[in-house]
Structure 1
Amino acid sequence: MKTNLEIKTKPVKIERVSPKEYLSIPRSDIKSARFVPPKIGSKSFGSMRVEYKHLKYKPVG
């Protein structure tokens, strides 16, 4: 029986991630990073705008 598994992905060069996710990204993969402050009244700690050196493929969904 032959199954054709297809995982839909999209190329990502720049994305916003949480501070926790940012810490798990290898520094050798990051071209630049910038802190994006939270909105006034928000309970979050803000996010990080990360630009990768090379394209990453992230699952869509």
Structure 2
Amino acid sequence: MRSTTIDELRSEVEGYIEAAKSAKGDFAMRFLNRAECVLRSYEDVPERFKNVYFKLIEDIGNDME
């Protein structure tokens, strides 16, 4: 588990999300999976904050199908 600030988490996850939006096919899904893994690895971050990004990742993944 990692310990960090919300701003660091936001920056890292949003970077993967933006990369997924720019990528195609399997590469896009890999970036979304990486963003999800990063969210799960951080501790001391409110669950409700994480859930916003989990929902965003899910929505983007559904749009790619």
TM-score range, shorter chain: 0.3 to 0.5
- Between the two structures, name the one with larger relative contact order (CA 8 Å, sep ≥ 6): 1
Which is strand-richer, 1 or 2?
Answer: 1
TM-score (norm 2): 0.31
